[in-house]
Amino acid sequence: MQYKTAAEWKKDVIVRDEIDKYLIDGKDFIDEEKIHAQIANAKNPDPEYIRGILQKSLSIKTLAPEETAALLNVESPELWDEINEAALQVKKKVYDNRIVFFAPLYCSNLCVNNCEYCGFREENCDEKRRILTQDEIRKETESVIDEGHKRLILVFGEHPRSDVDYMVDTINTVYSVYRDAPVSGREANIRRANINAAPMSSAKLKKLKEAGIGTYQVFQETYHHETYNKVHPTNTLKGDYRWRLYALHRAMDAGLDDVAIGALFGLYDWRFEVMGLLYHTIDLENRFGVGPHTISFPRITPASGSSLSNNLPHQVSDEDFKKLVAILRLSVPTAGLIVTAREQPELKREVINLGCTQTDASTRIGIGAYSDQKTEEDLDKKQFTIGDPRDLDDVIREVAELGYISSFCTAGYRCGRTGETIMGMLSHCVEGKFCKLNAVLTFREYLNDYASPETKAIGEELILKEIAEIEAEPYFAERPHLMEKFRAEYKDILLGKRDLYL
């Protein structure tokens, strides 16, 4: 349907019935009074109670809100050492020893919303508005592939010109691009495009499903109703708290069984937001049997034309940031945790050791910023500020030095290991076995196709170590067919084949 104006389009975006169907007695699942009481009542937790919670998390069970509230109240440095150690153990049990890499591709900064913390907000007159053509999408994708990426997350402002049909065209364009890798000359492409976009109706979500997206990501920004209303004006689409809150419920109903949640930390008390993310997880699990595939927890950084982003009411310190990462790892042990390039490299290194499983690299957040030559003035006019602009090869080398293998695996989407299937495998610590095999295969590709000599030297040592661990793993010894296929595919990659997986 064609709309003459954005105002006309906005009237048809929110479908009230697709909110009301999820409410219980007219209420959503964020009970603020209850959350505040749980946090307040958990002060000075008994150390043995905390250790019991850690054991529950190590059995890969989602924590109860009261248990997460207790972790939020721990003050003892010695107990925090135990919490951090348990968080890393949970990560390794569920996901093994890998870090998944991706790149964000910002397609449009046209937006009908006016979020106070965002450089894309409609009233920001300093923002140069632009929506990429499909030829420009192609050029951006080429640049990202040339870095070595296999996963993209496509980011769109909320606007009629970048509605679902534009998204579908963009996804098709991304999947159509092939490049010759700079080192080996082997053919390379993006294997999975995820979407970060505004909430939409079930009918539109089904179009994304048909286009072959991976994960559908919507951040609630803040779970605190009053704060949400303050920073998202009520006359905007984003001003509807519940339309956003149930965006991923609609996605699950539409068949998109890989969904991702997140909050912007700095708008309200970080402890409350952690509880909000947990309650969001629990409601998805209760209704669909599946929680979020990933959880993100970006801190707000300065944005063009936003005074709020420079004067946050609830600034999260580095120490508290590390705490919330560890607590999320323990509270939702099956979810991937994404630390973004908003954070400085030093802090990213620390939280990777607290259980993070994914990160972006070589990140550019301007519209067309991967392929365009931008001036420093242009680079300042963007949605937010990044703290880690390093190239993918530099980050991969650092991750390898920390002892983690880089992964570009997209096998789960194509093998049916999504939704309820993958959550079952994660909770039984099986999916991590496949993660390890596919991490080695995709890392082998990267080393041959893209790695600098320095990164390749470190990577060769690491990949031998990973293969030795695979050979010694009882799970694989009991499944010789998997080992046979893995060895054959590893050999084929060395001979030049690509995109092999288990």
User: For residue 105, what are the β-bridge partners?
Assistant: 154
**Local structure of 330: helix, strand or coil:** helix
Quick check: 176 pLDDT over 80? yes
**Domains annotated on the chain, with CATH:** 6-27+89-427 (3.20.20.70), 431-494 (no CATH)
**CA dihedral defined by 298, 302, 304, 305, rounded to 10 degrees?**
110
pLDDT averaged over every residue in the chain: 94
Name which of 72, 79, 90, 83 is nearest 275 in CA terms: 72
Chain-centroid distance of CA 70 in Å reads: 26
pTM: 0.95
Can you give the length of the chain in residues? Answer: 502
83-137 pLDDT, tens digit per residue, is 999 999 999 999 999 999 999 999 999 999 999 999 899 988 888 899 999 999 9
End-to-end Cα spacing for the chain: 42
DSSP letter string, 37-60: HHHHHTSS--HHHHHHHHHHHHTT
412-468 pLDDT, tens digit per residue, is 878 877 777 777 888 888 888 999 999 999 999 999 999 999 999 999 999 999 999
- pLDDT for res 50: 98
**CA count, 13 A, side-chain hemisphere, 407:** 25
- pLDDT for res 307: 86
C-alpha to C-alpha distance for 38 and 348, rounded to whole angstroms = 30
Q: What is the DSSP code (8-state) at residue 24?
A: B
